[in-house]
Homo-oligomer: A and B are copies of this chain.
């Protein structure tokens, strides 16, 4: 028999404790993410108005290299450093990571690098959390939880998906396992940070899947309305999304090693990366694969346009994959997730055209599933699908994300991720 007073009392005490700890963390992280999103918007619009900024990308890369070289070498490891500190608390996440990654990301996007934004948000959240952990004088275990809360806050606020943010922070540390020791703290911080971020007037891009599956179904048994053919197409697409996620992770890792081998002077690597990006734009004859790619001034080849039939070219997903792998491997900042959304949505669109499936649904599936594959976080991505696109298609979200997760193998974009349960059981 448990003592009611003791057990529930302890739980209440613990909850109150964490809430008090997390309010300032969430407030600061949410505010910083709002500032970041506002700056990012400014950088993106400025680049659209002044296309010549792209030619300064190699110089911008050198500037980012110099920033990290002179002011924060230990912050270079980014997301992996935050994750390593959660696994095994060590030297801590440096406070300077916040200004560095914020500045680095804005520079990357202003001059046309193809990168994301979640890395920035997660790193800001992580480094702010570590400042608070020192102030609170937390023990090792509680410090880990607080760092996870920082990640959850950053992720939840930057995409406006607090539940996915909380699950992401718990799911990303290990392949194949979620532990619930940080369940409530992560949810509190992600929800609060999202509220704070929204309160500054930040409005997240709205995506819509118009296709209603129930209406497109051909029923052959009375009263039975399930589209088995569509399910098979989703499974096939899920395999493709998994392989795309894996291809992105491997491509980035390979290119990173390639640069280091080919170019001995480290400061020259971002310069070379910038030149490759410029060359790529002229080879393709457009600027569609620069920046975040959420929207595009010409209305074509963007995440939003991928939700409409004919909204992206057949190979858009591959170009975005290559542009992003070059950008990030060369040392530019921002993270991988928004480009992964682009790659997935574009690939989904292409698969929909090829297989005669609804383009908006498959764009949405790719959006979350390639991300699930590259980061090994299928449950968080399924929930993100619900938060972004609504819940009617949760079955397809689950099938696509779980299948993609399964087929991406054990390579992911985060080297600090550990394997708890391998995906292959039989030899």
Q: Interface on A for B, CB 8 Å cutoff?
A: 2, 7-8, 10-15, 17, 141-142, 162-163, 166-167, 175-181, 183-184, 187, 191, 195, 198-199, 201, 203, 221-226, 228, 231, 243, 378-379, 382-383, 386-387, 389-392, 394-395, 398-399, 402-403, 405-407, 409-411, 420-421, 423-426
A250 to chain B, nearest CB (A): 8
- Which residues of B lie under 8 Å from residue A141 when comparing CB positions? 425
Q: Is the CB of A10 within 8 A of B181?
A: no
Cα separation A394 to B160 with both chains bound (whole Å) = 13
Known: A183-B402, A183-B405, A379-B379. A391 touches B387 (CB 8 A): yes
7 A-B pairs in the complex with CB atoms less than 8 angstroms apart: A7-B409, A12-B407, A179-B421, A183-B402, A187-B402, A195-B228, A203-B223
Given A183-B378, A191-B231, A203-B223, 17 more contacts at CB 8 Å?
A: A2-B409, A7-B424, A10-B424, A12-B407, A141-B425, A142-B425, A162-B398, A175-B180, A177-B178, A183-B402, A183-B406, A184-B406, A187-B402, A383-B383, A386-B386, A386-B394, A390-B390
Q: Is the CB of A179 within 8 A of B181?
A: no
Cα separation A198 to B11 with both chains bound (whole Å) = 42
Q: Is the CB of A180 within 8 A of B177?
A: yes
A391's closest neighbor in chain B, by CB? Answer: B391
Q: Is the CB of A398 within 8 A of B198?
A: no
Known: A177-B177, A226-B195. A392 touches B394 (CB 8 A): no
A397 to chain B, nearest CB (A): 8
Q: Is the CB of B10 within 8 A of A426?
A: yes
Q: Is the CB of B398 within 8 A of A163?
A: yes
Q: Out of B163, B231, B410, which one reaches A7, CB within 8 Å? A: B410
- Which residues of B lie under 8 Å from residue A7 when comparing CB positions? 409-410, 424
Q: Is the CB of B183 within 8 A of A424?
A: no
A327 to chain B, nearest CB (A): 23
Q: Is the CB of A395 within 8 A of B163?
A: yes
A410's closest neighbor in chain B, by CB? Answer: B2
Cα separation A373 to B110 with both chains bound (whole Å) = 49
A287 to chain B, nearest CB (A): 30
A397's closest neighbor in chain B, by CB? Answer: B163
A42 to chain B, nearest CB (A): 17
Known: A198-B224, A199-B221. A421 touches B177 (CB 8 A): no
A153 to chain B, nearest CB (A): 15
Q: Is the CB of B195 within 8 A of A395?
A: no
A421 to chain B, nearest CB (A): 5
Between A10, A195, A391, the greatest number of chain B beta carbons within 10 A of the residue's beta carbon is seen for A391
Cα separation A167 to B382 with both chains bound (whole Å) = 12
